């Protein structure tokens, strides 16, 4: 449970096993922010719903987001993780949850860029939280993966919602890769189903501080 000041409940979350010494096995604040935004703003701002949606979560890590979305009524979620230890922990958390709504898939898109056959041909939501980090993960590979998921000849493109905690200010303009520019150009081309990017981004940002504070309280209790 995440709460605002005064005890107001924000969302119910699924408890998962974590390991502090492995970044893939930690529930990062960005995942909590994305979960909260999906539960409180998805339908109102983007006209989409979790119930019955076909969802893929890239870099699922512990499975916290996917399993929490299953608790919220999502029934068809593919949770993707590429790291070996992270995937083993993901499988553990899904199996102990006893849910049938979440399916684990081991896929490292940096090493295997082609979309696996396990990814369904139709998707409603492509999700990810804290799956890029300066100088550690390949942003070009992520952009290419999302671009391929968007351009598979589908009649309706899936919505792509990525949550990132900006931990470093990168002054080197060369880090803005060509693939990122292509991805952003595509997202702004008018083909997106999102009616109001600015409004969505504003509401997303407003959720960050209360969830960040709540996450610190959770960590202090461990």
Q: How far is CA 128 from the centre of its chain?
A: 2
Question: From CA 50, how far away is CA 123, in angstroms rounded?
Answer: 12
**98: Cβ–Cβ under 8 A, 6 or more apart, which residues?**
none
**pLDDT value of residue 212:** 54
Measured over the CA atoms of residue 128, residue 211, residue 213 and residue 89, the dihedral's sign is negative
pLDDT 10s digits, 73-114: 898 999 999 999 999 999 999 999 989 999 999 999 999 999
Domain-wise residue ranges, the chain: 23-165+173-211
CATH topology for 23-165+173-211?
Answer: Rossmann fold (3.40.50)
Q: Which residue has the higher pLDDT, 45 or 52?
A: 52
Residue 46: band (very low, low, confident or very high) from pLDDT cuts 50, 70, 90: confident
Q: Are strands 2-3 and 9-11 parallel, antiparallel or unpaired?
A: antiparallel
Residue in 54, 69, 58, 192 with CA at minimum distance from that of residue 123: 54
pLDDT at 193: 47
pLDDT value at residue 166: 58
DSSP 8-state symbol, 175: G
């Amino acid at each position: 449970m995440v709460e605002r000041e005064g005890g107001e409940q924000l969302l119910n979350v699924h408890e998962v096993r974590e390991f502090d010494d492995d970044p893939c096995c930690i529930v990062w604040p960005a995942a909590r922010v994305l979960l909260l935004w999906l539960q409180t703003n998805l339908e109102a701002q983007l006209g989409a719903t979790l119930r019955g949606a076909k969802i893929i979560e890239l870099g699922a890590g512990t499975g916290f987001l996917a399993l929490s979305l299953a608790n919220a009524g999502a029934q068809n979620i593919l949770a993707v993780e590429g790291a070996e230890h992270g995937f083993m922990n993901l499988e553990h958390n899904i199996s102990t949850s006893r849910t049938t709504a979440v399916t684990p898939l081991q896929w490292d898109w940096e090493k295997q860029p082609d979309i696996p056959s396990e990814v369904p041909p139709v998707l409603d939501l492509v999700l990810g939280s804290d799956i890029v980090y300066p100088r550690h993960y390949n942003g070009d590979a992520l952009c290419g993966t999302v671009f391929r998921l968007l351009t598979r000849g589908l009649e309706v493109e899936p919505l792509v919602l990525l949550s990132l905690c900006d931990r470093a200010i990168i002054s080197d303009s060369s880090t803005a890769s060509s693939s990122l520019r292509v991805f952003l150009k595509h997202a702004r081309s008018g083909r997106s189903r999102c009616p109001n990017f600015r409004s969505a981004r504003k509401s997303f940002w407003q959720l960050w501080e209360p969830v960040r504070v709540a996450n610190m309280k959770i960590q202090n209790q461990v």
